[in-house]
Amino acid sequence: MTKQDMIRAWIEPELKADFGKAVRANDRDMSQVLRDLIREYVHRYEQGEVWNPGSEVKRQTLAREE
């Protein structure tokens, strides 16, 4: 097995619960999905793409609050 590092991040309990529910519904676990998201971010960066994950969700949330 390859050596792995751990990343710790603070998130809201509700967001963690929603994330857990979503990944379980897709027969995945949180670590698998987070690794995939990080790989995708790095890949897009290497291709010269500026990717701002979550920006669309933030924009929709702000629009609903107005």
Q: Is residue 60 part of a domain?
A: yes
Q: Is residue 27 part of a domain?
A: yes
Q: Which residues contact 42 (CB under 8 A, 6 or more apart)?
A: none
Instruction: Please spell the DSSP secondary structure of 10-25, one letter per residue.
Output: ---HHHHHHHHHHHHH
DSSP state, 39? Answer: H
Q: Is residue 7 part of a domain?
A: no
CA gap 21, 14 in Å, rounded? 11
pLDDT digits (tens, 9 = 90+) for 5-20: 999 999 999 999 999 9
Domain total in the chain: 1
Q: Is residue 6 part of a domain?
A: no
Stated pTM of the model = 0.75
pLDDT digits (tens, 9 = 90+) for 17-58: 999 999 999 999 999 999 999 999 999 999 999 888 888 777
Q: Is residue 5 part of a domain?
A: no
Q: Is residue 2 part of a domain?
A: no
Q: Which domain holds residue 48?
A: 13-65
Q: Is residue 39 part of a domain?
A: yes
Q: Is residue 1 part of a domain?
A: no
- Which pLDDT score is estimated for 1? 63
Greater confidence (22 vs 60) lies with 22
Handedness of CA 39, 14, 28, 55 (dihedral sign): negative
